[in-house]
Amino acid sequence: MKDLRAVLDQRRRDGLYRSRRIADSPQLPERRLDGGGCLSFCSNDYLGLAAHPQVGAALQRGADHWGTGSGAAHLLAGHTAAHHALEEELADFVGAPRALLFSTGYMANLGVMAALLGRGDRLFQDRLNHASLLDGARISGARLIRYAHRDPGDLERRLDEAPAGERLIASDGVFSMDGDVAPVAGLQALAQRHAAWLLVDDAHGLGVLGPGGRGSLAQAGIAPAGGLVLMGTLGKGLGTFGAFVAGGEDLIETLIQQARSYVYTTAPPAALAEATRAALRLCREEGWRRDKLQALVGRFRTGAAQLGLPLMESDTPIQPLLIGDTRAATRLSAALERAGILVPAIRPPTVPEGAARLRISFSAAHDEAQVDRLLDALGSALEG
């Protein structure tokens, strides 16, 4: 039997031990965590909708009408008119023929890959893809082939070398730890040329990028249909919880029949679907949220350049400050926390060895004074 205590102690010595914090305030920039106040720059609530009163009111109305639980899987008795309306509205939002709700983005990625691929098939993935995409490869049984980050040329070479058979290319739309955007137009061209599926996980692009916040595919002028599969999450830009897959009619019907992570799990509460419908309306109607978000990111990057901070290349709300050494990143995070600012250190295995960083993320709920406070604290911490 493995000595779990010894493994945990080693993680502490290596600076890799993770601890949960207990919040007793809503998801806002100014929060109370573990009994103390802090200014948070680690949320994925990019549009500032997670604590929006209209979204909360929709959730309450939904609970009054539908109750608190769906009671069954979608294919039994759990699929309500609220779920169905949300699917139709999400499909319309991203310009797809249909959309299908999943409980989480993780489950959506697993479900798509296992439904479309099997043993003997080939799955091509960007080396910096999210863990759920990598785990989807294991679940599917397909052979995993990883190509260089954001490098369509390397992907094309690997596609050319692979034997004939079913193929799927998978990539994050926005890479969650680097904040950069996948070359989705180039990936789509390769997918079409090689008769491969293309799955884009746009968890961090939906609501933020592209016309109307429709994501990284819309930014590239592409709609999910045919062999193009979009996975989007609802718990980041839209501020609620869950995920969806969008694509063609036959794809969605195949997932309903064969995606085990859809078939064999209880449907999310209908009240949550009502809350997400309200959040989606706000996302579509209040474009100022994206404008403000980009202005805050620009202000931060300008100030960071003046301080000589080693920011990575990113125009998204994810702004990684590359430190390299794990312990140094942990020390800088701790120094910021002493100044009342929460920016956790991201360490291996989430990022590669030698690539530890602070992952600073912005929300439309932040203001300019808070961005300046972060810059001042970073400057002081690095001087110290």
pLDDT in tens, 236-286: 999 999 999 999 999 999 999 999 999 999 999 999 999 999 999 999 999
| Cβ atoms of 59 and 270 closer than 8 Å | no
Does the annotation flag 67 for ligand binding? no
Q: Annotated catalytic residue: which of 74, 79, 83, 236?
A: 236
Q: Tell me, what's the pLDDT at 13?
A: 86
Does the annotation flag 204 for ligand binding? yes
Q: What are phi and psi of 39, to 5 degrees?
A: -100, 115
Q: Tell me, what's the pLDDT at 382?
A: 84
Nearest CA-CA partner of 44 in 208, 170, 201: 208
pLDDT (tens digit per residue) in 59-85: 999 999 999 999 999 999 999 999 999
Q: CB atoms < 10 A from the CB of 53, how many?
A: 8
Q: What whole-number distance in Å separates Cα of residue 229 and Cα of residue 210?
A: 17
- Spatial neighbors of 382 by CB under 8 A, at least 6 apart, are 307, 309, 332
- Spatial neighbors of 298 by CB under 8 A, at least 6 apart, are none
Nearest CA-CA partner of 48 in 260, 363, 383, 302: 363
The maximal CA–CA distance of the chain, rounded, in angstroms, is 60
3-state SS, 170-186, equals: EEECECCCCCCECCHHH
β-strand 341-342 against 36-40: which pairing, if any?
Answer: parallel
In terms of DSSP H, where are the helices of the chain? 4-13, 53-66, 81-94, 105-116, 131-140, 152-161, 184-193, 216-219, 249-258, 260-263, 270-285, 288-307, 326-338, 368-383
Measure Cα distances from 14 to 2, 17, 325, 328, 347 in Å: 19, 8, 11, 12, 10
Two tokens, residue 168: 């799927």
Does the annotation flag 70 for ligand binding? no
Q: Is 2 a catalytic residue?
A: no
pLDDT (tens digit per residue) in 328-369: 999 999 999 999 999 999 988 888 889 999 999 999 999 999
Nearest CA-CA partner of 128 in 350, 368, 366, 353: 350
Q: What whole-number distance in Å separates Cα of residue 237 and Cα of residue 243?
A: 11
Q: What whole-number distance in Å separates Cα of residue 45 and Cα of residue 362?
A: 8
Q: Annotated catalytic residue: which of 40, 70, 171, 176?
A: 176
Q: What whole-number distance in Å separates Cα of residue 374 and Cα of residue 378?
A: 6
Does the annotation flag 171 for ligand binding? no
Q: Is 236 a catalytic residue?
A: yes
Q: What whole-number distance in Å separates Cα of residue 282 and Cα of residue 240?
A: 12
Does the annotation flag 74 for ligand binding? no
Q: What whole-number distance in Å separates Cα of residue 28 and Cα of residue 49?
A: 9
pLDDT (tens digit per residue) in 3-50: 999 999 998 888 788 888 898 988 999 999 888 899 999 999 999 999
Does the annotation flag 233 for ligand binding? yes
Beta bridge partners of 200: 171, 230
Q: Is the pLDDT score of 384 beyond 70?
A: no
Give the residue-averaged pLDDT of 104-117. Answer: 97
Q: What whole-number distance in Å separates Cα of residue 24 and Cα of residue 1?
A: 38
Global pTM value: 0.94
pLDDT (tens digit per residue) in 115-144: 999 999 999 999 999 999 999 999 999 999
DSSP for 35-82 reads TEEEEE-----TTS-TT-HHHHHHHHHHHHHH-S---SBIIIII--HH
Does the annotation flag 43 for ligand binding? no
- Spatial neighbors of 159 by CB under 8 A, at least 6 apart, are 124, 167, 190, 194, 196
Beta bridge partners of 199: 170, 229
Does the annotation flag 105 for ligand binding? yes
Q: Is the pLDDT score of 182 beyond 70?
A: yes
Q: Annotated catalytic residue: which of 74, 204, 292, 366?
A: 204
Could you give all domains of the chain from N- to C-terminal order, each with its CATH number?
23-49+287-383 (3.90.1150.10), 67-285 (3.40.640.10)
Q: Tell me, what's the pLDDT at 286?
A: 98
